[in-house]
């Protein structure tokens, strides 16, 4: 069983089809994380969803895609998201902590060391770090491709034994996921460049990335010695499969 993992959960797992925060899905996620914690697993949660939560708090506003508008959504949405996590983790007797990062924090040695020291201290105190991109200040060159990239960097920073990426699909398919003819690819060799030919370039509705980004980040992370598990975050009890040594989605290693 893994002793330290990073779990990344995407926007489409945390929000409903209408874009509103899916409290039931978030609650299920926290329940599963609490179970892992009870089994002695150290973990870091990389969570999207701040912008979506912010849009819910400002209904009726036309989204023109402006940077300033995204900053507003993120600023108010992050508060909403963290309050949900605080309440849900408290129900299990757990504390969580907010960690916001930009790409620049991984390029600056001092920022990097400060963040790593913070992670170490939180994990020692058995507090769940909840990490997100700092969308309020992260613009242009400071932006990650998406939170998959952030999760990969965090996994390497904390020397995780595995990275779990929870999306709205079961994993990597050898064709369009919605096609009945497509088959799930259970395992991908991180050195296999040809597997990228199967990936759809299309992005999901709520996030910035897509399966192509996930596979690229997963391969880079796996080549650094950290296996990556990609799966459907809405599958009931999916994180419990980690304790069983099983994974219903795709493993990149």
Domain CATH number, residue 240:
3.40.1160.10
Whole-number pLDDT of residue 200: 55
pLDDT at 177: 80
Domain encompassing residue 246 = 4-252
Q: DSSP for 46-103?
A: EE--HHHHHHHHSTT------HHHHHHHHHHHHHHHHHHHHHHHHTTT--EEEEEE-T
pTM given for the model? 0.92
- Tell me: pLDDT of 137 over 60: yes
Query: Of residues 159 and 182, which shows the higher confidence score?
Result: 159
pLDDT for residue 63 is more than 80: no
Domains of the chain: total:
1
Is 205 annotated as ligand-binding?
no
pLDDT digits (tens, 9 = 90+) for 210-228: 688 889 899 999 999 999 9
Among 47, 38, 42, smallest CA distance to 123 is for 42
Is residue 48 part of an annotated ligand binding site? Answer: yes
Tokens 């299990």 sit on residue: 92
- For the stretch 227-250, pLDDT in tens is 999 999 999 999 999 988 889 999
The pLDDT of residue 198 is: 67
| Ligand-binding site membership of 147 (annotated) | yes
pLDDT, tens digit, for every residue of 92-130?
Answer: 999 999 999 999 899 999 999 999 999 999 999 999 999
β-bridge mates for residue 158, sequence order: none
How many degrees, rounded to 5, is the angle at CA 221 between CA 26 and CA 230?
Answer: 40
- Helices vs strands, H then E, count in the chain: 9, 8
pLDDT of 206 over the 70 cut: no
Q: Considering Cα of 153, then 159, then 162, then 166, what sign does the dihedral take?
A: negative
pLDDT in the model for residue 64: 75
pLDDT tens-place string over residues 9-26: 999 999 998 888 999 999
pLDDT bucket at 140, cuts 50 / 70 / 90: low
What is the percent of the chain with per-residue pLDDT over 90, rounded to a whole number? 68
Say what the pLDDT of residue 136 is.
Answer: 81
Does 25 carry a binding-site annotation? Answer: no
């Amino acid at each position: 069983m893994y002793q330290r993992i990073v779990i990344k959960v995407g926007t489409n797992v945390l929000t409903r089809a209408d874009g509103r925060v899916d409290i039931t899905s978030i609650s299920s996620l926290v329940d599963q994380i609490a179970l892992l914690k009870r089994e002695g697993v150290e973990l870091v949660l990389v969570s999207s969803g701040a912008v979506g939560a912010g849009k819910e708090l400002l209904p009726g506003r036309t989204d023109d895609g402006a940077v300033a508008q995204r900053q507003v959504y993120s600023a108010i949405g992050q508060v909403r998201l963290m309050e949900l996590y605080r309440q849900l983790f408290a129900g299990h007797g757990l504390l969580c902590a907010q960690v916001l990062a930009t790409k620049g924090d991984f390029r600056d040695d001092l920022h990097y060391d400060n963040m790593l020291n913070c992670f170490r201290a939180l994990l020692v105190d058995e507090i769940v770090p909840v990490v997100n991109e700092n969308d309020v200040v992260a613009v242009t060159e400071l932006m990650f491709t998406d939170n998959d990239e952030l999760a990969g960097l965090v996994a390497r920073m904390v020397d995780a034994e595995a990275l779990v990426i929870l999306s709205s699909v079961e994993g990597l398919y050898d064709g369009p996921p919605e096609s009945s003819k497509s088959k799930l690819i259970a395992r991908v060799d991180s050195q296999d460049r040809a597997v990228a030919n199967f990936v759809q370039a299309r992005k999901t509705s709520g996030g910035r990335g897509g399966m192509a980004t996930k596979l690229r980040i997963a391969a880079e992370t796996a080549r650094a010695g950290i296996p990556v598990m990609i799966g459907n975050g809405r599958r009931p009890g999916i994180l419990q499969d980690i304790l069983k040594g099983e994974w219903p989605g795709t493993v990149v290693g």
